[in-house]
Structure 1
């Protein structure tokens, strides 16, 4: 249900005059990774349909079709398919602006197998937001079925991409939505600008279905404190000079202060705009009272139940039906009635006045001019109103690593590593990859496997390093077993791959046996005979000779045992002389020792001739 300000301007042009809101074009970044001449980061405008990959990235290769370049017809008519080949990058279609709706271009590209569509502007101007067609001109059921992301690029960038493709260059692009939404902390604040009107065809029905589908996730996030949600409602005013006109009296309350378009766009039948304003106010007051009681998530139950139990087509869109829903949810009906106040009084309503003030954009957020609009962390969400797409966008608003478990559930988190390993390094033989999936997109980071760290840029090269590196796919080095022998180019104590002795090569893909015999690097002595083996060689000597590998020479196996007799006599005489000398020294030392002992013993019993007479000892102090 996209009711724009433009609709009300057409409806009440005499009353409102012309005014232009401050509309902010929400953007994401587009990074060209090849060719070299285009490498850079550019801005592109997120389309307000399809499913932008908020919080993530998408890598693809660009194709500019030779026919149907504006994408206004089915590509099947031209026998064109954009489905990527197994192992190949997804295809991004580059289409020219003009001749048909943006949504039709995206639908045709999606049906042809494209993963995303880039629309090149046809004029030099600031980027605009590609939107769904107006309600009265949409006339297509496909609008809610568009699932590929879309982006508008400048004419200049579009022309440069076309020029590169015409030269045969491959243009690869990374669409990046990771910073499309701020993610400053562990809580996401989001607003849902909606309307209680259910008489606007398929768009109203899709909004009601979204509320039903999203209710469970929204309540989980709110109950656990992960989010702070606020519903909002757009109202317009009627200039004082026209307050008494039929248009203002049927479409406005509080003397023209708060107005809404006629639900059926027919003043003569059905409900009026003021009925919508009052029900919008009731829903806003319900949220206010429920929030004050600590249960803001009850708003989702009320809106869902009211849409089911009180539809306009069954003539139940009234206060009596709404009150029964409120009472069933246990919310204080009296407080809600007090909040609503007197809709006929010539006074401001505090709740609706606050809604009008909130509609004006502040900071990076533009004016809210489209219904429905989702605002996440003060940025307007662009894309399909779908549970999975919206939840992914809200999850992108959390600070990294603080996302609740619901954000990592299947269907929300997109594993970009499943296709072509996200463009990162891979080792098919060992089933290893540097692609690491995170909620905000894949990163190329060399892995750690079984305690072994791989080092490199993660994109083109990763190499095992440190102890035990040879245990993981032999460190990415060459290894071969032959004839019961194993040779490897990997060494735990060194980096890289180096062929072992006896081999030559790069050490990664191949190591070839070196023929030492042919290269004359072994068995060079005149009597040597060389035989090459895998990884080594065998050397032998002719005749009765023995090969010494350390010295690369041959020696005789026989030992010469002839000894000179003169040499033996010299040894005998030498030993005899040494014995005599030793005996003489022994006798001399023994005799001296015995003499000293005898003298000591005799001195104890008689004075020796050379000792003097010892005088008597008289103590001091005796008389």
Structure 2
């Protein structure tokens, strides 16, 4: 007992005697009183560290305050009181006073009485605190894992105001709102799980191991598909310099007092020591590091689950040999893990455990991690029961609206508001297109994108397709009909032109396009001999008396005349060709004759002078004289 007390004193000295002040953040949600006017307003309340908070959701109810056992430390069955809501009635939020018993016992009694939530009014004016579980060693705390209703601690002043309103016979209506209890900035949720490889710490260790087993499947699906980024963490303490050589520090710490963990049984004389826990924690952290580097971080869940089953402390298998067998069965590089662990006896820092100690310190909106297990989602500490369904809801609350994975929209997790009256959004029932998008927090009315075609509108009263492909989706919202083997559409790819009835039809192009009777309205077949027959979307013209209809000229011609015209045209061509031949022959004869004349004249000029030649000779002779 002295050894146990000595170590606890050392831990106390670590946190309070060396100037390290832990920063515990109280996680809150919104509480809105809607009536009566005297209390109406929005208030803060602290989320209890038990039960199942409705992360991402809201709960509307009416407040009741018991006339007896106002601290709810006894079962309400003893006084035959029920707070279960009647069919069609609002859920009951039971208001009780702080004091005399555990918060969890108050919640358990309220739940058994039929209340849908419990409000604990503080008994003094002070900042809100987090209602926590009692020590797990308490034999009366076996109901802890059975609490399923949400809980909230409210200020004394708000509690007094509600009590006064109820005493005046006024109904107090309230809305508990967890929609903003967790940040939800984008399409990926980052969460941390602060855990321990120790399996001999009582009911808390048992519930932690059960949670890992139950949650493994969902965690791995979310991680594989990139919806989440998960990181496991392990709490260690360091041994103060003055106690490094003590028996307690040597048995609880590695690397010369730098990284320590409490004795599993809180008894230094038997079983495994704290240093064994630290080494196994380090091995699990290194397993995650190596698996994450090989882009398979989800294998951590397999390793931790298998290790808890195959290597429990109670069977004396909590050893390196057993752990190595599990690692090898999962195909992870054992050598890299051993290198990551390093030498536990060395007087040097271990990079992995040093980073773990740094991460324990709260940053931003997250407080220090001081208890196990602790779940941190989007840098906010999760409050409530460590249960698969409750944690999935909390993770789903961390996604930006409309980016949630399918698991968040299943019937087991949330209610699909689009199923009732289409959520009040626009829809085209004929084409099965809707602007209602189910989200974890409710629904949004947003014009959809269907087959690559974007719809524009307010999402509530109308949505209209746009783009070159808009006619491929519901025909762009325009009229379309098939009849007599033909299909006509009023959709035009150019959204600016909207819907326009095709030629042969008239109407608004959206709801109706009626066939135009071209025959009746004298729009076709106007020639005297023409006969008109209306068809759907068009018309047919014909001619009587053996005449042939020419549509392009809207006229009738004789079939015989057409034949005579054809032969006349042929004769004209033949005669034309003959004329061209005669003319060509005449030209040919003329040119031949000219040529022959010139040749004969040249020959005769050589033997006898011609008249013009003698005259030229005489002129030349006279000129010489």
**Is this a same-fold pair by TM over 0.5?**
yes
State the alpha-carbon separation in 1 of the partners of residues 170 and 270 from structure 2.
Answer: 62
Q: In structure 1, what is the Cα distance between the partners aligned to 2:9 and 2:175?
A: 41
Maintained 8 Å contact 1:31/1:42: yes
Helix, strand or coil at the partner of 1:84: coil
Q: CA deviation at 1:139?
A: 3.3
Given that 1:195 and 1:233 are in contact with CA atoms closer than 8 Å, whether structure 2 keeps it comes out as yes
**Which residue is equivalent to 1:543?**
none
**Map of 2:239 onto structure 1:** 238
Alignment of 1:476-487 (within 5 A): none
Change (3 A) 1:200 1:256: same
Using the TM superposition, give the Cα deviation of residue 225 of structure 1 relative to its aligned residue in structure 2, in angstroms.
Answer: 0.4
Q: Provide the residue aligned with 1:29 in structure 2.
A: 30
Checking the alignment, whether the CA contact within 8 Å between 2:409 and 2:438 is kept in structure 1 is: no
Residues 1:182 and 1:17: Cα distance change in structure 2 (over 3 Å)? closer
Pair 1:408–1:454, CA change in 2 (3 A): closer
Unmatched segments (≥5 aa) in structure 1: 1-5, 425-435, 446-452, 456-623
Give the C-alpha shift of residue 410 in structure 1: 2.4
Could you say which residue in structure 2 is the equivalent of 1:40? 41
**Residues 444, 298 of structure 1: alpha-carbon distance in 2 compared, 3 angstrom cutoff:** closer
- Give the TM-score, by structure 2 length: 0.66
State the Cα deviation string for residues 429-474 of structure 1 (Å, max 9, x = none): xxxxxxx9954445799xxxxxxx999xxxxxxxxxxxxxxxxxxx
C-alpha deviation, 1:7, in angstroms: 12
Pair 1:315–1:416, CA change in 2 (3 A): farther
* Partner of residue 104, structure 1: 105
Provide the residue aligned with 1:382 in structure 2: 383
8 Å contact kept, 1:9–1:16: no
In structure 2, how many angstroms separate the alpha carbons of the residues matched to 1:158 and 1:7? 43
Where in structure 2 are the equivalents of 1:417-566 lying within 5 Å? 439-442=439-442
> 1:382/1:269 Cα in 2 relative to 1: closer, same or farther (>3 Å)?
same
> 1:354 corresponds to which residue?
355
Query: Once structures 1 and 2 are overlaid, which stretch shifts more, 280-289 or 14-23?
Result: 14-23
CA distance in 2, matches of 1:444, 1:253: 54
Is it true that 1:401 corresponds to 2:398 in the alignment?
no
Deviations 1:76-128 (A, max 9, x none): 11111000010010000000000000000000000000000000000100000
Distance 1:201 1:363 in 2: 33
Q: 1:7 to 1:60 in 2, by over 3 A?
A: farther
Q: Supply the distance in 2 between the matched residues of 1:133 and 1:40 (Cα, whole angstroms).
A: 33
Aligned-residue offset at 1:17: 4.7
Task: Provide the secondary structure at the position in 2 that maps to 1:412.
Answer: coil
What is the aligned partner in structure 2 of residue 303 from structure 1?
Answer: 304
Q: Secondary structure at the match of 2:152?
A: strand
- The alignment partner of 1:38 has SS state of coil
The answer to whether the Cα contact below 8 Å between 1:15 and 1:242 also exists between their aligned partners in 2 is no
Q: Cα–Cα, structure 1 residues 301 and 183, in superposed 2: closer, same or farther, change >3 Å?
A: same
Contact 2:182–2:380 under 8 Å retained in 1: yes
Q: Which residue of 2 aligns with 1:173?
A: 174
SS across alignment from 1:110: helix
The answer as to whether partners of 2:32 and 2:42 remain within 8 angstroms in 1 is yes
SS state at 1:37 partner: coil
Contact 1:214–1:387 (CA under 8 A) maintained in structure 2? yes
Between the aligned partners of 2:140 and 2:77, the Cα distance in structure 1 is 22
Cα distance in 2, alignment partners of residues 34 and 15 from structure 1: 49
**Any residues of structure 2 matched to 1:212-231 within 5 Å, and which?**
212-231=213-232
Q: Relative to 1, partners in 2 of residues 1:163 and 1:384: Cα closer, same or farther, differing over 3 Å?
A: same
Residues 384 and 416 of structure 1: CA distance in aligned 2, closer, same or farther (over 3 Å): farther
Rate the CA distance shift 1:394–1:240 in 2: closer, same or farther, 3 A.
Answer: same
Q: Tell me how far apart the structure 2 counterparts of residues 7 and 111 of structure 1 sit (CA, whole Å).
A: 42
Instruction: Give the aligned partner of residue 138 of structure 2.
Output: 137
**Deviations 1:351-375, CA, capped at 9 Å, x for gaps:** 0000000000000101001100000
Instruction: Report the secondary structure of 2:42's partner residue.
Output: strand
Structure 2 counterpart SS, 1:294: coil
Structure with more contact order per residue of length (Cα contacts < 8 Å, sep ≥ 6): 1
8 Å Cα contact 1:61-1:90 kept in structure 2: yes
Taking the aligned partners of 2:333 and 2:441, their CA distance within structure 1 comes to 45
**Contact map agreement 1:120 1:158 (CA 8 A) in 2:** yes
RMSD in angstroms over aligned alpha carbons?
Answer: 2.7
Q: Is the 8 A contact 1:46 1:52 kept in 2?
A: yes
TM-score for both structures, normalised by structure 1? 0.66
Partner residue, 2:336: 335
Give the distance between the partners of 2:91 and 2:27, measured in 1 at CA: 24
Uncovered stretches (5+) of structure 2, i.e. residues with no partner: 425-435, 446-458, 462-625
Residue matched to 1:202 = 203
* 1-structure distance, mates of 2:438, 2:323: 44
Aligned residue in 1 for 2:161: 160
Aligned to 1:84: 85
Counterparts of 2:250 and 2:266 in 1: how far apart (Å)? 15
